[in-house]
Amino acid sequence: MPARPPLRPAGIIFALAANLLLVTLGLLIASGLAAGSGLLAGLPLVGSVLAGLATAFYVGQRAAIHAMLGGLLSMPVMALFVLPGNNWSYAILAAAFCALGGIMGEFRQRRSK
């Protein structure tokens, strides 16, 4: 089995910042459109997946674990300061979708080799 490269702290911080930024932008856009609750719930989760994909392109290798750790670190910040009403369940879901984006990005990178 080949040796795995070490985790990059900058990659974890990138995932944390990207997840917070894209979820916040998704919430602001969805609430500004005054659309139904489906768009208000779905658009920030799309932002989480995009944050995971961006992390995959930033770190190159071991993208899924970087995205997962960044998503988990962003979870309490999102629940306490970003999401309305201390919505912990949605923060957990956003962290999981960030990890899912990292997994999809890692699959894409492995297939292109």
Q: Is the entire prediction scored with pTM above 0.85?
A: yes
Instruction: Tell me the residue range of the domain where 78 lies.
Output: 9-112
Q: Looking at residue 85, what is its pLDDT?
A: 85
**Residues whose CB is less than 8 angstroms from the CB of residue 34 and which lie 6 or more positions away in sequence, other chains included:** none
Q: What is the pLDDT of residues 47-78, one digit of tens each?
A: 999 999 999 999 988 999 999 999 999 999 99
Residue 58 lies in a domain: yes
Residue 1 lies in a domain: no
Residue 4 lies in a domain: no
Residue 44 lies in a domain: yes
Residue 62 lies in a domain: yes
Q: Which alpha helices (DSSP H) does the chain contain, by range?
A: 9-33, 37-59, 63-77, 88-112
Residue 3 lies in a domain: no
Residue 46 lies in a domain: yes
Domain count, the chain: 1
Rg of the chain over CA atoms, in angstroms? 14
